[in-house]
A and B are shown apart, each in its own frame.
Chain A
């Protein structure tokens, strides 16, 4: 069984730039959620994708957007990067349809904004 994988592991950008982060879901999973984790804080929900559509969104501005592909992998795109966007970005996958299935996380992408 292949777990959740994210790329890249680390990334450095400057203010105003755009970034794309990638996630491959665990085999057998069809739902992907994205989280932002600032240093010393718990993960904060950004949004979830199910059947290639956004299926719920947290308190994040529209410059945070995403995609899910037919193979259930996903991308997180962030435009007009700000210094406060520096964080660990986590992807989690799960199997929708079974209420007893927890989300499984990747190890994240560490994004630093200069």
Chain B
């Protein structure tokens, strides 16, 4: 299972775009890249998932270069409610896949 490296913490002002980069040098061919958001005393909440290139949904974008050894979560125009811990996970989500390695995540603090 590929492990990941992300910054421990980041600060941003309200209204700015935030980019959180995750390194996963040992990503395997079948691995997907998934990002979760977690607030205190709550379970992680799925944000976005991708395999290659760019994925966009209503809350975020995920950029994955051709070598897939890193990925960048982009949050447009953050608000105070985006203050949370963000986890990058890499793994095979297919049948029998069973282990998500969370690491310590990136603590994002949005400043008024």
Contact = CB atoms under 8 A, between A and B. Distances in A.
A53 to B, nearest CB: 11
B30 interface: yes
The 4 A-B residue pairs whose C-beta atoms are closest, nearest first, are A56-B98, A42-B102, A105-B43, A99-B94
Contact of A42 (B42, B97, B103): B103
Contact of A105 (B44, B96, B101): B44
Interface string A33-74: 101000001111101101000011010000000000000000
A7 interface: no
Interface of B: 30, 32, 34, 36, 41-46, 49, 87, 92-105
A44 B97 CA distance: 15
Interface of A: 4, 33, 35, 41-45, 47-48, 50, 55-56, 58, 88, 90, 92, 94, 96-108, 110
Contacts of A88: 41
A55 B95 CA distance: 10
Given A55-B96, A94-B93, A105-B45, A44 B102 contact: yes
Contact of A99 (B41, B92, B98, B101): B92
A99 B100 CA distance: 14
Contacts of A105: 36, 43-45
